[in-house]
Chains A and B, each alone.
Chain A
Amino acid sequence: MSKNLKLKSSRAAKDMSQKDLADATGVTRQTINAIEKGDYNPSIKLCVSICKVLGKTLDQLFWEEDEDE
């Protein structure tokens, strides 16, 4: 799984640290870190929660474009 740079940049745009985002979504900082690094595939519930906090849609944060498209 590749790194989720869209999540990282959206978080940075909101001037939030991983800890801030983790507190807002009710998970640990390590979980947010693992999602950004691509080490963990979050549930749809957590994805929606992250999207609400960052004011983005699921497509904007978690949709991966195929390289051959």
Chain B
Amino acid sequence: MSRTNLDEMQVQKRNMVGNQAFMLLFYLLLIDIGLSGFGFRWLQYPMNVFVIMLGCMTYYLTRIIWNNSYVGPRPKNRNENVGGKIALGIGVAAFVAGTVAYLNMDSLKKPISTGDNSGMILFVFSIVLFIVLGIVSLLTKWQARNDE
């Protein structure tokens, strides 16, 4: 389902967080301009605006995900947690491939040695994926704590 197809409570919360994020962006930029006027520069010109915008965007995304306003209600016929299962499968495949390539097991003969550290990248990718899946699973359980 589309992310914009939120229910009425989700829309209200998203709008509230959006307004807060916009006001935060406005005041931070205003403070930044004021500090520059006093001769205090905490970062060079393009970077200071970029960092402020990045911070506000992070605040906005974190709040709407925390308030369960990022994804709308699921359709009835959709298979539960199919995305999580696909991600877990990719993670396991990447973990196995990364471990084999990274540890350079003697029992396996590598036909091509690329030497580009791809094994390490795959290994780290799979670990990060497992961590993300774990956090998502914990958040799902936490959000369902009041289900009766």
A residues with a Cβ closer than 8 A to B are 8, 17-19, 22-23, 26-31, 33-34, 37, 40, 42-43, 45-46
Contact = CB atoms under 8 A, between A and B. Distances in A.
Nearest to A31: B9
Q: Kindly list the 3 A-B residue pairs having the minimum CB-CB distance in the complex, ordered from nearest.
A: A27-B7, A31-B9, A28-B73
Given A34-B9, A42-B8, A43-B8, A27 B73 contact: yes
A47 to B, nearest CB: 11
Nearest to A12: B148
B126 interface: no
B147 A29 contact: yes
Contacts of A31: 7-10
Contact of A17 (B9, B73, B143, B147): B147
A18 B144 CA distance: 10
Contacts of A22: 73
Interface of B: 7-10, 68, 72-73, 76, 143-144, 146-148
19 contacts: A8-B148, A17-B147, A18-B148, A23-B73, A23-B76, A26-B73, A27-B73, A28-B10, A28-B72, A28-B73, A30-B9, A30-B68, A30-B143, A31-B10, A33-B146, A33-B147, A40-B9, A42-B9, A43-B8
B80 to A, nearest CB: 11
A29 to B, nearest CB: 6
A28 B8 contact: no
A47 B148 CA distance: 20
A42 B72 CA distance: 16
A33 B10 CA distance: 13
